[in-house]
């Protein structure tokens, strides 16, 4: 174990056998790790880094990137802040956390053997099962031997002389690699509300994105949940089952639709296995890699009766069908979106007994689908329970956290537990928390001060040999499908560099500009870009992050892959190679 924890790529194990004593063979194992070559042979550090590639993060992106680079013979190593693999599914272990993509469309597709041996128990798996899956993958492909756990990256600097990256951790360790790959996730920088007195609370408190491994017991307790986004909705559903009193503090509501989850029988799982090729091919063809396809008809190209029946079918269906499989104009045509929003609003009114509470739960500041739609299981019925209260923070804003609870403009509340479901500094936030410095010591945070600009969400000019998996302006949606594509694109690019002898790869500024123009072109006309959300780079909990920025690619996944494929087929002419 001590050797596995070291930063060094090589170690020697010496076996020392002592004479047998009393018929017992007494042996001792001595592990000796070598210091980096720069400490032994200073001259070699100029040209030979410790690794070919360092990968930041051991979630789905980082694990797969490690696997494919090792397959190609690269010396690769992963730096992971947590004590285990899983990324999102390691940190977000709050009650109710689960997939909103169908389980069987979400897992890795690269290994037929893995697909054959893994059984999903639910159509939308919960966090414990997903974390078990991630650990199974790590064990099956022996990934842990090349992962340094509990290793949080603090800074990364590109060194011109050696054409390599120097990476430092919060604990003061340093690593060097020719190439650096970020696999740090879109939603991995949790944000706390900027209330006074957070640390003064004497009870238990946690952010959903940094949930304690030992969990929190809600039985018979007074609990506050702040936030009604996706994680808040999932948490509220579970906490309401056992808390003596649950008070939900809502800043602004979201449009939520039924998940309609259910178990997967053995026979159904066997049937799914026979369709995996078909399933993953469908994911390649759809707009956002989900198994749901946008309906080719417009909202007003059908009769009112047909429209109502279509929406009823979608509302009764599983998962994101109602969002990703709706009429083609629903996210662009204002009148069509208003009609869809009215349909869902009526569903909320029908499910919540108290009319005033129902109206508080219906969004007034954005239309249906213009933010990512939280999927729920009896969420609205929670507000019919006598132990649940809804407080609108627009009407009664929280002024501070007190030692015993929360104080709003109207009153003091006493709680045993406070849960912050206050979201993430999405897309760029995880990059901002690491001090990335490229050529000429330019910082990535400064580079993106007015909004991120990338080459296909994977590279940035002035940051040679830096690759991003699912970076800003990459294709999002059912993310593992896009993750696999990004990872393989990066692998192929590094194989190309090795075959040509290139030690430095950098996106050309004009190529970044061209991709930025394409991203902006694809965003035209989308109602979602008129809305404050993490998808437009807005987070009220982040200082200075209250203006909208284009942080996501809004075109289709097939269009995105076509652009990336063209770059590779053309010999990566969009990159400076030396």
CA–CA dist 70, 572 (Å, integer): 22
Whether the pLDDT of residue 29 is over 50: the answer is no
Task: State the chain's mean pLDDT as an integer.
Answer: 90
pLDDT of residue 461: 98
Closest CA to 62 of 90, 36, 41: 90
CA–CA dist 23, 34 (Å, integer): 35
pLDDT of residue 528: 84
SS3 (DSSP) at 353: coil
At 281, is the pLDDT very low, low, confident or very high (cuts 50, 70, 90)?
Answer: very high
One DSSP character per residue, 521-542 reads HHHTT-GGGGS-SGGGT--TTS
pLDDT of residue 540: 55
Interior/surface letters 530-560, b for 16+ CB within 10 angstroms, e for the rest: ebbbbbbbbbebbeebeebbbbbbbbbbeeb
pLDDT of residue 9: 34
Whether the pLDDT of residue 516 is over 70: the answer is yes
Instruction: Give me the percent of the chain exceeding a pLDDT of 70.
Output: 89
Token pair 């198994």 is found at 291
Whether the pLDDT of residue 155 is over 80: the answer is yes
pLDDT of residue 33: 30
At 460, is the pLDDT very low, low, confident or very high (cuts 50, 70, 90)?
Answer: very high
At 39, is the pLDDT very low, low, confident or very high (cuts 50, 70, 90)?
Answer: very low
At 34, is the pLDDT very low, low, confident or very high (cuts 50, 70, 90)?
Answer: very low
Q: Residues 42-48: what's their mean pLDDT?
A: 46
CA–CA dist 228, 234 (Å, integer): 9
At 136, is the pLDDT very low, low, confident or very high (cuts 50, 70, 90)?
Answer: very high
CA–CA dist 500, 468 (Å, integer): 22
pLDDT of residue 112: 97
Contact 379, 236 (CB under 8 A): yes
CA–CA dist 290, 240 (Å, integer): 31
Over residues 375-419, the pLDDT tens digits come to 999 999 999 999 999 999 999 999 999 999 999 999 999 999 999
- 404 contacts: CB under 8 Å, gap ≥ 6: 201, 202, 203, 412, 414, 415
pLDDT of residue 49: 85
SS3 (DSSP) at 16: strand
CA–CA dist 208, 497 (Å, integer): 41
Whether the pLDDT of residue 160 is over 70: the answer is yes
Q: Where are the alpha helices (DSSP H) in 109-159?
A: 112-117, 127-140
pLDDT of residue 533: 66
Task: Give the CA-trace dihedral at 226, 230, 233, 238, to 10 degrees.
Answer: -100
Indicate the range of 20-29, 93-102, 351-360 predicted with least confidence: 20-29
Q: Residues 286-306: what's their mean pLDDT?
A: 97
Give the other-Cβ count within 10 Å of 3's Cβ.
14
Whether the pLDDT of residue 5 is over 50: the answer is no
Contact 432, 445 (CB under 8 A): yes
């Amino acid at each position: 174990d001590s050797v596995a924890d070291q930063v060094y790529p090589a170690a020697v194990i010496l076996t020392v056998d002592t004479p047998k004593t009393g018929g017992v063979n007494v042996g001792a194992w001595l592990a000796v790790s070598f210091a980096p070559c720069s400490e032994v042979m200073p001259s070699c550090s100029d040209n030979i880094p410790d690794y070919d590639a360092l990968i930041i993060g051991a979630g789905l992106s980082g694990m797969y990137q490690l696997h494919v680079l090792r397959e190609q013979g690269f010396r690769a190593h992963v730096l992971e802040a947590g004590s285990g693999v899983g990324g999102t599914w390691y940190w977000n272990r709050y009650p109710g956390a689960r997939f909103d993509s169908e389980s069987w469309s979400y897992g890795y597709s690269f290994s037929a053997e893995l697909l054959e041996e893994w059984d999903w128990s639910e159509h939308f798996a919960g966090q414990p099962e997903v974390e078990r899956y991630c650990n199974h993958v790590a064990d099956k492909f022996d990934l842990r031997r090349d992962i340094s756990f509990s290793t949080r990256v603090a800074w990364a600097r590109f060194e011109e002389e050696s054409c390599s990256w120097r990476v430092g951790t919060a604990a003061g360790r340093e690593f060097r690699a020719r190439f650096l790959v970020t696999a740090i996730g879109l939603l991995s920088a949790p944000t706390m509300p900027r209330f006074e007195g957070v640390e003064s609370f004497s009870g238990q408190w946690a952010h959903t994105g940094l949930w304690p491994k030992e969990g929190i017991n809600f039985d018979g307790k007074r609990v506050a949940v702040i936030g009604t986004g996706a994680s808040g909705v999932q948490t509220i559903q579970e906490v309401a089952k056992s808390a003596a009193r649950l008070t939900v503090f809502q800043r602004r509501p979201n449009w939520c639709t039924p998940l309609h989850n259910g178990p997967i029988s053995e026979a159904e799982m066997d049937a799914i296995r026979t369709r995996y090729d078909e399933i993953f091919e469908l994911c390649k063809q759809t707009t956002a890699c989900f198994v749901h396809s946008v309906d080719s008809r417009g909202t007003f190209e059908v009769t009112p009766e047909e429209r109502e029946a279509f929406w009823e079918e979608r509302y009764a269906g599983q998962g994101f069908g109602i969002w990703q499989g709706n009429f083609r104009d629903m996210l662009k045509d204002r009148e069509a979106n208003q009609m869809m929003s009215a349909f869902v609003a009526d569903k909320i009114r029908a499910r919540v007994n108290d009319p005033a509470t129902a109206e508080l739960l219906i969004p007034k500041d954005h239309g249906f689908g213009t933010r990512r739609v939280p999927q729920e299981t009896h969420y609205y019925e929670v507000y019919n329970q006598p132990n649940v209260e809804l407080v609108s923070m627009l009407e009664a804003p929280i002024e501070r956290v007190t030692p015993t609870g929360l104080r709003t403009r109207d009153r003091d509340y006493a709680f045993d537990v406070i849960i912050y479901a206050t979201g993430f500094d999405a897309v760029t936030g995880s990059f901002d928390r690491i001090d990335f410095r490229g050529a000429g010591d330019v910082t990535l945070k400064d580079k993106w001060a007015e909004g991120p600009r990338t080459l296909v969400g994977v590279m940035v000019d002035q940051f040679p040999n830096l690759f991003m998996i699912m970076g800003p302006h990459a294709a999002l949606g059912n993310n593992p499908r896009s993750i696999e594509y990004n990872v393989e694109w990066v692998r192929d690019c590094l194989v190309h560099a090795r075959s040509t002898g290139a030690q430095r790869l950098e996106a050309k500024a004009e190529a970044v500009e061209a991709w930025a123009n394409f991203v902006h072109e694809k965003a035209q006309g989308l109602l979602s870009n008129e809305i404050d959300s993490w998808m437009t780079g807005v987070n009220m909990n982040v200082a200075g992050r209250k203006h909208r920025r284009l942080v996501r690619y809004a075109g289709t996944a097939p269009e995105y892959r076509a652009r990336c494929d063209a770059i590779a087929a053309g010999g990566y002419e969009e990159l400076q190679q030396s």
